[in-house]
Amino acid sequence: MRPDGRRKSPKTNRSLHRPPPVLSIPLPSLPAQPIFRFCDLVFYIETLLVRFYIRFNIFLVDLVADGGLESCLRLRPRKRENRGKWVTGSHKLRVGSWNIGSLTGKSIELVKILKKRKINIACVQETRWVGSKARDVDGFKLWYSGDSRDRNGVGILVDGDLREQVVEVRRFNDRLILIKIVVGGCTLSVISAYAPQVGLGEEAKKLFYEDLDEVVRGIPIEKIVIGGDFNGHIGATSNGFDDVHGGFGFGERNGGGTSLLDFAKAFELVIANSCFPKKENHMVTFRSSVAKTQIDYLLLRKGDRGLCKDCKVIPSENLTTQHKLLVMDLAIKRDRRKKIVSDRPRIKWGGLTPDLSREMGEKLSEMGAWSGSGEADTMWNKAASCIREVASKVLGVSRGKVGGHKGDWWWNEEVQGKVEAKKAAYTKLVES
């Protein structure tokens, strides 16, 4: 009884309300004395570890059964899957654009620069080549379109790994050409464009953008890359065109630049070389003794902006004295094809010199290649066989790799040395 006369409440057994133990392994009790044996402590710790191990294994079994193990053990959250079939990967696709002034006598030197800079696709302007044709240039394939040897002309070069993946070529006029190429399971449309110069009338500029609008409108869903000389200044800042201008331009905006920005905004494109902060030398695409400007651009869809890892000018390449090479790196997963080398040997006719020609003539005379009588076919077969035999010994035989085209007969070590000297002299002049 309590002092106030009330009865004490009966004691409840609290142990009855505790949850049952998960495991039946009893936990040993430590001795009550402050000092206990070392073996008792070791046994106590071992029992704790066994209980933890068993409980953790039960947890994993339940987790696997629920299908949640993968999400539980993931180190970082899963990223949203990329749209389309272009997946960011380790294989880089480099696209270039260059106003070369004239392609006559420069095709071999141009391709050597493209190989040196690891450019896979190049849009070129002001080629001044007449016709709508294709040509092999030292492993690259060039598609071009032009009407006059004095002005305009556009073309697109594709390297040896991708040239066989081109599925369509469309030549519109001497200012626009398009190719479609399959890369990484997707179709990429590449356009080379050359806008009218500032001095031409507004009607010519309006007609150019009408044609370009029609070309892009015909590509509703495919990936697009447009490289060209647009003869316009987009300005150093976006200033009202935040969705298409990256904020890293050069100079003051003019009418030609506004036309380009309006076009890009209408088709949800972004100007790639305005998206990366660069030094002046890596932004200026046109440099002369009186001016330096940015008039060459590379564009792609706004949704593919994440694929563009870099876009810059390479100022050290001097194929032309005014325009500079502009390149863009795209992170695209693409299959690398093995080079197919023909097993048919070829005589190295490109190494024929006057001295070797005289040597071959003497050996052919000794063999009696020009003597004989009988039917014309028999005499011809004998002479041809002798010529091939002597040429194989004197000039040598290649392993079957396809050689250059008919326009590179003049290119040799002496010419290459002169070209390098010209580049060095020009670089020294610019820096002085």
| pLDDT, tens digit (0-9, with 9 covering 90-100), for 367-411 | 877 776 777 778 888 888 888 888 888 888 876 555 445 555 555
Taking the CA atoms of 290, 427, 278 and 222 in sequence, report the sign of the dihedral they define: positive
The residue extents of the domains of the chain are: 23-73, 92-331, 349-422
Q: How far apart are CA 264 and CA 277, in angstroms?
A: 20
Q: How far apart are CA 122 and CA 126, in angstroms?
A: 13
- For the domain spanning 92-331, the CATH number is 3.60.10.10
The DSSP secondary-structure symbol of 218 reads T
Taking the CA atoms of 171, 172, 177 and 181 in sequence, report the sign of the dihedral they define: negative
CB 196 within 8 A of CB 205: yes
Within 112-171, strands assigned E span 121-125, 131-137, 140-146, 154-158, 166-171
Residue matched to tokens 């004197």: 394
Q: How far apart are CA 213 and CA 198, in angstroms?
A: 20
**pTM here?**
0.62
- pLDDT by 10s per residue, the chain, length 432: 555 555 555 554 544 445 555 445 555 555 555 455 656 666 667 676 766 666 666 655 555 454 444 444 333 434 444 444 444 444 689 999 999 988 888 888 999 999 999 999 999 999 999 989 899 998 999 999 998 888 889 999 999 999 999 999 999 999 999 999 998 778 899 999 999 998 888 999 999 999 999 999 999 888 999 999 999 999 999 988 999 999 999 989 999 999 999 999 999 999 999 999 999 999 999 988 788 999 999 999 999 999 999 999 999 888 877 899 999 999 886 655 554 445 577 888 777 888 888 888 888 888 877 776 777 778 888 888 888 888 888 888 876 555 445 555 555 666 667 766 776 676 666 566
3-class DSSP state for residue 326? Answer: strand
User: What is the total residue count of the chain?
Assistant: 432
**Number of Cα atoms under 13 Å in the Cβ half of residue 1:** 4
